[in-house]
């Protein structure tokens, strides 16, 4: 990297050291060069700085996009324990909504202990696992396939869910915040999550401790929309809160 480019990057990094963003035009004016020169500097910064919508931001202040393959290996044992606790709520003859993501995938392997179950899902990985279990009826909600989350999305998915009699909805999330509510990365997940929460007899949120205190782009529910929260994180709520029952895993 040329010395002048390195000096400009150092100056921009100093300006962004406290977090936040810097407009591209302001960055160019600060360094006395064109916007195109700043773009080239950023491209040569080895990923330390990125350009988002015409604004500069340090990469370590930018939350990465959800990657299902990375999440598959994240908190694996914790997710197994969470699903073991979740399975304790299932009764013979239940119709279950199982959300997408990797947190609830181990739940599929525990369904063989119950009889006459129906599983409703829009997640391909969940559907593949459930399809291998004898005597479990599978309802796969289709639409446009999203590879990042191995799930489907469509405009009429909410209506399809609301036509079903769902006893228990097992919902996953990427963020759970006491004030900002429950959220995920992908906007196409919002409609099926909300539909399942609206029509299920019992709503269970299943999240590991890494999700607690996080806020993600796609908000879909309040904490008190759930009857039960199953987690290994610190989710203690005062009795007067009137919120969900907290089950420790």
- The CATH number of the domain holding residue 57 is 1.10.10.10
pLDDT of amino acid 207: 96
125/168 same-domain check: yes
Interatomic CA distance for residues 216 and 154, integer angstroms: 21
* Domain enclosing residue 45, as ranges: 3-61
pLDDT of amino acid 68: 52
Half-sphere exposure of 223 toward its Cβ, with a 13 Å CA cutoff? 22
Domain boundary, last residue among 61, 95, 111:
61
pLDDT of amino acid 62: 46
Helix (H), strand (E), coil (C) string for 15-82: HCCCCCCEEHHHHHHHHCCCHHHHHHHHHCCCCCEEEECCEEEEHHHCCCCCCHHHHHCCCHHHHHHH
Closest C-alpha to 125, from 151, 96, 98: 151
pLDDT of amino acid 216: 93
Domain boundary, last residue among 44, 61, 78:
61
18/92 same-domain check: no
**DSSP string covering 186-230:** -GGGHHHHHHHHHH-SEEEEEE-GGGBT---SEEEE-GGG-SEEE
115/11 same-domain check: no
Interatomic CA distance for residues 184 and 124, integer angstroms: 18
pTM of the model: 0.70
Half-sphere exposure of 111 toward its Cβ, with a 13 Å CA cutoff? 29
The DSSP letter of residue 142 is -
146/121 same-domain check: yes
pLDDT of amino acid 49: 77
pLDDT of amino acid 59: 65
245's enclosing H/E stretch is strand 245-248
pLDDT of amino acid 64: 46
137/217 same-domain check: yes
pLDDT of amino acid 229: 96
pLDDT of amino acid 17: 67
57/72 same-domain check: no
pLDDT of amino acid 63: 47
Compute the radius of gyration of the chain from its Cα atoms. Answer: 22
Residues of the chain with confidence (pLDDT) below 50:
1, 61-66, 73-74, 238-240
pLDDT of amino acid 50: 76
């Amino acid at each position: 990297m040329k010395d002048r480019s390195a000096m400009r990057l150092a100056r921009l990094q100093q300006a962004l050291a406290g977090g936040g963003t810097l407009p591209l035009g302001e960055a160019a004016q600060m360094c006395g060069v064109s916007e195109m020169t700043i773009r080239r500097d950023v491209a040569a910064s080895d990923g330390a700085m990125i350009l988002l919508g015409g604004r500069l931001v340090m990469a370590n202040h930018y939350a990465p996009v959800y990657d299902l393959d990375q999440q598959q290996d994240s908190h694996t044992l914790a997710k197994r324990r969470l699903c073991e606790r979740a399975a304790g709520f299932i009764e013979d003859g239940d119709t279950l909504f199982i959300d997408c993501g990797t947190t609830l995938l181990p739940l599929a392997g525990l369904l063989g202990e119950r009889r006459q179950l129906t599983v409703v899902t829009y997640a391909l990985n969940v559907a593949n696992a459930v399809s291998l279990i004898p005597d479990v009826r599978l309802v796969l909600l289709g639409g446009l396939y999203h590879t990042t989350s191995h799930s489907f999305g469509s405009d009429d998915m909410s209506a399809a869910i609301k036509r079903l009699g769902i006893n228990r909805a097992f919902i996953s999330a990427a963020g759970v915040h006491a004030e900002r509510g429950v959220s995920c990365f992908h906007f196409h997940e919002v409609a099926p999550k909300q539909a399942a929460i609206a029509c299920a007899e019992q709503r269970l949120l299943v999240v590991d401790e890494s999700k607690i205190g996080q806020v993600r782009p796609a908000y879909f529910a309040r904490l008190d929309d759930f009857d039960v929260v199953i987690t290994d994180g610190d989710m203690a709520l005062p009795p007067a809160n009137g919120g969900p029952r907290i089950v420790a895993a």
